[in-house]
């Protein structure tokens, strides 16, 4: 177990004790500098999409953040940019794909938004090597059932690539959130490899039901089980057996939300370890399941 909750120094020893070669974190953000400053401002000061906001633990220059991920032993991570209005997704994809080209550990990632031409730039991102996609229904405020996205969901289901979907109502309700809208997408595209961010908190039950219904639907651990989240959105004990089974079945992956978290990275691992679901579960969640997806 990570004993240094308020320090990252113990993380490499933790995963080595599990017999792992490192960590695979499928929920990490790097953004173009100007956009990143604006996002961080929202996190720090709060607002309609953030509620009260919080102080970011790793509001550091990009090279310092990369150095910390390497010190932690995070062997693979995406940059996960996401579009919140028309006309920005294609440019973000160019940026994230270039960032991955110059960052060996970074998985090439892409995003999309319901707008004319969306299928064309998603095809371009796939041709450019994208290995993971991200959409944020709460911040983007769009309906995943939008007709412009029907072809995109089909392309991604056929590709088998993971799509990290923020579909729940954290930090505050907004957009077309909840299991209903993305659940309708899955009914039409049951082979879609949707990775539900934050385990779907606080709508845990509904998103766990989706993971049970669809073979390729998975959940990421981002911010779940931490002291910060447990204060307002505690994980229900009744779902713990399902969480264990899903993890061992390849349907739970490590996510952190680095760098925009209000606590040290090590605390996410502490939170997972204190669930007491066993070393095999931790190995699956922190490495094996992510490795199988990417």
Q: What is the pLDDT of residue 45?
A: 73
Question: Which pair of structure tokens corresponds to residue 158?
Answer: 């056929």
Residue 220 and residue 196 in contact, taking contact as beta carbons nearer than 8 Å: yes
User: Which pLDDT tens digit goes with each residue over 181-213?
Assistant: 999 999 999 999 999 999 999 999 999 999 999
- Specify the DSSP class assigned to residue 237: G
User: Which pLDDT tens digit goes with each residue over 271-291?
Assistant: 999 999 999 999 999 999 999
Residue 179 and residue 167 in contact, taking contact as beta carbons nearer than 8 Å: yes
Residue 86: pLDDT above 90?
yes
Three-class secondary structure of residue 134 per DSSP: strand
CA–CA separation, 225 and 128 (whole Å): 36
Average pLDDT over the chain, rounded to an integer: 94
User: Which pLDDT tens digit goes with each residue over 228-262?
Assistant: 999 999 999 999 999 999 999 999 999 999 999 99
Question: Which pair of structure tokens corresponds to residue 284?
Answer: 């699956």
Residue 62, classified by CB atoms within 10 Å of its CB into exposed (0-12), middle (13-18) or buried (19+), is: middle
Residue 172: pLDDT above 80?
no
Q: What residues are paired with 154 via a beta bridge?
A: none
For CA atoms 74, 76, 81, 82, the dihedral sign is negative
CA–CA separation, 50 and 152 (whole Å): 28
Residue 3: pLDDT above 50?
no
Q: What is the pLDDT of residue 99?
A: 98
Residue 161: pLDDT above 80?
yes
Report pTM: 0.94
Question: Which pair of structure tokens corresponds to residue 8?
Answer: 């990252």
- Going by C-alpha positions, the residue among 186, 184, 212, 211 that lies closest to residue 196 is 211
Q: Where are the beta strands (DSSP E) in the chain?
A: 23-24, 74-78, 106-107, 109-111, 132-136, 163-166, 194-196, 218-220, 252-253
Helices (H) and strands (E) in the chain, counts: 14, 9
Report the residue count for the chain.
Answer: 294
Q: What is the pLDDT of residue 252?
A: 98
Q: What residues are paired with 111 via a beta bridge?
A: 134
Q: Which residues contact 16 (CB under 8 A, 6 or more apart)?
A: none
């Amino acid at each position: 177990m990570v004993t240094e909750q308020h320090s990252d120094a113990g993380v490499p020893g933790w995963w080595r004790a599990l017999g792992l070669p490192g960590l695979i974190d499928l929920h990490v953000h790097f953004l173009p500098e100007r956009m990143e400053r604006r996002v961080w401002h929202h996190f720090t000061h709060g607002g309609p999409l953030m509620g009260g906001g919080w102080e970011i633990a790793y509001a550091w220059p990009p090279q310092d953040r990369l150095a910390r991920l390497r010190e932690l032993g995070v062997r693979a991570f995406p940059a996960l940019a996401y579009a919140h209005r028309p006309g920005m997704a294609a440019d973000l994809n160019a940026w994230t794909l270039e960032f991955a080209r110059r960052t060996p550990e970074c998985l090439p990632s892409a995003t999309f938004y319901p707008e004319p031409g969306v299928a064309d730039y998603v095809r371009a991102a796939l041709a450019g090597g994208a290995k993971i996609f991200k959409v944020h229904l709460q911040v983007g405020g769009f309906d995943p059932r939008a007709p412009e996205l029907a072809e995109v969901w089909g392309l991604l289901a056929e590709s088998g690539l993971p799509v990290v979907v923020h579909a729940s109502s954290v930090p505050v309700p907004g957009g077309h959130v909840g299991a209903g809208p993305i659940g309708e997408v899955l009914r039409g595209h049951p082979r879609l490899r949707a990775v539900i961010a934050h385990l779907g908190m606080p709508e845990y039950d509904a998103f766990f039901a989706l993971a049970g219904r669809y073979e390729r639907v998975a959940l990421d651990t981002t911010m779940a089980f931490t002291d910060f989240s447990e204060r307002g959105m505690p994980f229900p004990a009744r779902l713990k057996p399902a969480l264990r089974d899903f993890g061992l079945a390849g349907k739970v992956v490590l996510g952190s939300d680095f760098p925009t978290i209000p606590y040290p990275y090590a605390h996410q691992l502490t939170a997972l370890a204190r669930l007491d679901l066993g070393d095999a579960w931790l190995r699956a969640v922190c490495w094996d399941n992510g490795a199988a997806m990417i």
